[in-house]
């Protein structure tokens, strides 16, 4: 096998847009919840009435002129000291997250969300951590992805304009970047843990249980069961290593996802990091095969729930709007170029080459 041809096929051969569409919905919902949680003590963290006042936020974010490139965090809120501007940026982030969730002008909404979220994220570097860094990183990849190609208002309106429904396929280079980012996070976390002694000898979970600064529940009583502590520690370590590789292959994917969900469910009552585990698990959707994504979509479709209850499905035709092209020209990538009958043979020919 030619490695260059295989790598080229991995990045550019057409794939289904359905897994990416599912992930876009999950990501949008999580970001709406995240932004609503941000309103708690909003003034303290993001305005001049709180922790960083005046030029303090700009100084904490680093300066390009002082050579502090590694700490540089650019935000217009460093220069706007009124209490209204942060709320306007927050409102833009919330509106764009809602638009991204329903898939309305997805490319524009993803760009607006990334800019607005990053402005809030950089306003107060002292409050930033992993739960805040992951949405900022993931939103950058979402901005690059044709995430409105499936399960979106954009896709519905485009299908109506063309007069036929197309099997949504995309050029996956940006999706591959998103997938590799998740795997690198798990792999790097595993490597860092192995560099210390507490994870290798199975005692790391003991110290996590006694960290009262981030704890949610008092689970110190588990320290009385050293074998359980040892098993929990090694399970977390092995799961992170497995997730970096097993998500790519269908036979092992379901077991990797199961272990990953169990890992983050176990972290949630021990460490107070709301939204982090949920986002990591949502990213598993991007690895699904088309049939797996369709099965998940059928389970989560609220219209199916209404049908099982004997209720009438809602009429969503009003979302289609007038016929005509929408969105940015760059948004219309390969996903809108094929009918169902055309997409499958083309994908097969590319795979053979």
> What tokens appear for 149 in the block?
């190609």
Are 322 and 236 found together in one domain?
A: no
Q: What is the mean pLDDT of each run of 10 residues along the chain (353 residues)?
A: 88 94 96 93 86 77 58 80 92 97 95 95 80 90 94 88 76 96 95 89 89 80 91 94 96 96 91 89 96 88 72 56 39 40 46 48
What is the predicted pLDDT for the residue at 326?
A: 36
Assess contact for 90 and 38: CB atoms under 8 A: yes
Residues spanned by the domain of 249: 181-288
Assess contact for 216 and 269: CB atoms under 8 A: yes
Query: Does residue 333 form part of some domain?
Result: yes
> What tokens appear for 221 in the block?
């009583």
Are 192 and 154 found together in one domain?
A: no
Are 185 and 166 found together in one domain?
A: no
Are 113 and 196 found together in one domain?
A: no
Are 29 and 130 found together in one domain?
A: yes
What is the predicted pLDDT for the residue at 347?
A: 45
Burial 244-267 (b: 16+ CB within 10 A, else e): bebbeeeeebeebbebbeebbebb
Query: Does residue 63 form part of some domain?
Result: yes
Query: Does residue 106 form part of some domain?
Result: yes
Are 166 and 193 found together in one domain?
A: no
Query: Does residue 235 form part of some domain?
Result: yes
Number of domains in the chain: 2
The residues that bridge with 170 in the sheet, in sequence order, are 15
pLDDT tens-place string over residues 113-138? 999 999 998 888 777 777 788 999 99
pTM for the complete prediction? 0.83
What is the predicted pLDDT for the residue at 265?
A: 93
In the 3-class helix/strand/coil scheme, how is 147-161 assigned residue by residue? CCCCCCHHHHHHHHH
Are 52 and 134 found together in one domain?
A: yes
Assess contact for 279 and 30: CB atoms under 8 A: yes
Are 20 and 91 found together in one domain?
A: yes
Assess contact for 178 and 145: CB atoms under 8 A: yes
Assess contact for 59 and 137: CB atoms under 8 A: no
Task: Give the other-Cβ count within 10 Å of 67's Cβ.
Answer: 10
> What tokens appear for 60 in the block?
């904490």
Q: At what angle do helices 106-123 and 130-144 cross, to 10 degrees?
A: 150
What is the predicted pLDDT for the residue at 164?
A: 67
What is the predicted pLDDT for the residue at 65?
A: 52
What is the predicted pLDDT for the residue at 25?
A: 96
What is the predicted pLDDT for the residue at 45?
A: 85
């Amino acid at each position: 096998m030619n490695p260059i041809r295989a790598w080229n096929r991995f990045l550019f051969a057409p794939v289904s847009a359905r897994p990416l569409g599912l992930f876009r919905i999950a990501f949008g919902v999580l970001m709406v919840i995240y932004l609503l949680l941000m309103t708690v003590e909003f003034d303290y963290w993001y305005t001049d009435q709180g922790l960083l006042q005046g030029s303090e936020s700009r100084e904490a974010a680093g300066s390009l002129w002082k050579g502090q490139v590694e700490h540089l965090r650019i935000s217009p809120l460093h220069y706007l000291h009124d209490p209204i501007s942060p709320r306007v940026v927050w409102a833009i982030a919330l509106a764009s997250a809602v638009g991204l969730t329903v898939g309305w002008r997805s490319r524009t909404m993803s760009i607006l969300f990334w800019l607005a979220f990053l402005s809030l994220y950089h306003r107060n570097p002292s409050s930033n951590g992993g739960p805040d860094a992951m949405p900022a990183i993931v939103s950058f990849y979402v901005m690059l992805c044709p995430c409105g190609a499936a399960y979106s208002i954009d896709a519905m309106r485009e299908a109506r304009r063309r007069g036929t429904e197309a099997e949504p396929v995309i050029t996956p280079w940006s999706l591959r970047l998103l997938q590799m980012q998740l795997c690198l996070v798990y792999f790097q976390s595993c490597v860092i843990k192995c560099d210390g002694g507490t994870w290798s000898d199975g005692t790391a979970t003991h110290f996590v249980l006694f960290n009262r600064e981030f704890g949610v529940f008092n689970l110190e009583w588990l320290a009385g069961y050293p074998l359980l502590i040892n098993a929990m520690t090694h399970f977390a370590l092995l799961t992170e290593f497995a997730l970096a590789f097993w998500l790519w292959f269908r036979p092992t994917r379901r077991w990797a996802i199961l272990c990953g969900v169990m890992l983050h469910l176990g972290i949630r009552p021990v460490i107070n990091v709301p939204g982090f585990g949920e986002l990591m698990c949502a990213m598993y959707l991007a690895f699904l095969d088309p049939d797996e994504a369709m099965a998940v979509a059928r389970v989560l479709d609220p219209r199916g729930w209404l049908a099982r209850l004997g209720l009438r499905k809602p009429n969503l035709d009003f979302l289609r709007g007038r016929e005509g092209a929408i969105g940015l020209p760059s948004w219309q990538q390969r996903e809108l170029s094929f009918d169902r009958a055309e997409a499958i043979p083309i994908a097969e020919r590319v795979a053979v080459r």
